[in-house]
Amino acid sequence: MTDIILDKDQLVDNIRAQFRSMDALKYKRSLLEFEDNDGGFLGDNVFETSFKLQDGASPLIYEVSGPYDVISNEYATIGRVYQNGQRIFEADIKDQIQQRTAAMVWLSFDAIGHTPKNILVIGAGKLAAETVRYLKHFMPGLSSLDYHARNARPDTFETTCSELGIAATYQTNLDMSAYDTIIMVTNTNTPLITSDNVESLAENAVIASLCTTSLVGEITGEIYGRKDVNVIFDYDLTRRFTPDMKKAEEAGHLSDVTYLNDIMNGEQSIDLAAKRTILRLTGTPMQNIAVIEMLRDQ
């Protein structure tokens, strides 16, 4: 099933619907990290179990696991569904995980009322390309963007963008000051936004951080506690799922966090013009369930 391309509009709608029915979902998630003999980051495994309540009937139990190793820079993602003690569905959902992450980026922008204009993508791998595909689908007029990576990718990332009708320009030196939209799709071991450079960002900049497989986050912890920054998490476990978030929590930097679902259902609002906005997206059970249910319908 890895070659199945999910309908973009339907996937975004299905993720949104899962968020709206979160009260019926009970989930737990763990990140198991591994180091080599010298203490270097070797890889991890995200393991997630969700119980979807069924009005007194046996719940649907969703299980997702995703082992990753830094040497190959590849991961696997397997989704399973159980009910009444029986496995009723199993699929390799690796490619669909990239699709649902890209869908979540767009859904988040849409939910907070942000329309990207000047875009910088940090990273140029498969997920970066998939994210651009979703941006182009929902913004057909998108014709250009900049990107920064360890090396220029004219044969992969730029080619994908060109096929979509987008001119992708490689930025040799990372300068984030000119953009209203920054999408971080990288497993960096060096924070990209710190107290030294955060004020150089445009005041209305929206930063989507997708970092989940690095011992060091893309944004240093104190940034989340600044009064001139909106902080939006995709769901509650983001607060303590990764080592950088745990440290930020322990330091008291996460006392004023808004959850995306509260914006989606109208319980909270944010001022995009007055503050820089960070969307921290670690990947939710709602996204995974939306993918699995779409695959079950194939």
Statement to judge: residues 167 and 235 lie in one domain: yes
Statement to judge: residues 65 and 127 lie in one domain: no
How many structural domains comprise the chain? 2
pLDDT category of residue 212 using cuts at 50, 70 and 90: low
Instruction: Name the nearest CA neighbour of 175 among 205, 209, 141.
Output: 205
Statement to judge: residues 148 and 17 lie in one domain: no
E-assigned strand segments in 73-170: 74-75, 78-83, 86-92, 119-122, 144-148, 167-170
Statement to judge: residues 155 and 54 lie in one domain: no
Q: Is residue 3 part of a domain?
A: no
Q: What mean pLDDT, rounded, does the chain reach?
A: 93
Domain range holding 178?
99-284
Statement to judge: residues 80 and 114 lie in one domain: no
What are the two backbone dihedrals, phi and then psi, of residue 7, each rounded to the nearest 5 degrees?
Answer: -60, 125
Q: Is 204 exposed, middle or buried (0-12, 13-18, 19+ CB in 10 A)?
A: middle
Sheet holding 206-209, edge to edge: 167-170, 144-148, 119-122, 181-184, 206-209, 276-280, 229-233, 258-259
pLDDT tens digits along 113-128: 999 999 999 999 999 9
Q: Is the pLDDT of residue 213 over 60?
A: no
pLDDT score recorded for residue 240: 87
Statement to judge: residues 117 and 209 lie in one domain: yes
CA atoms within 13 A on the CB side of 132: 31
pLDDT tens digits along 40-62: 989 999 899 999 999 989 999 99
Statement to judge: residues 35 and 130 lie in one domain: no
Q: Is residue 89 part of a domain?
A: yes
Statement to judge: residues 73 and 170 lie in one domain: no
Q: Is residue 49 part of a domain?
A: yes
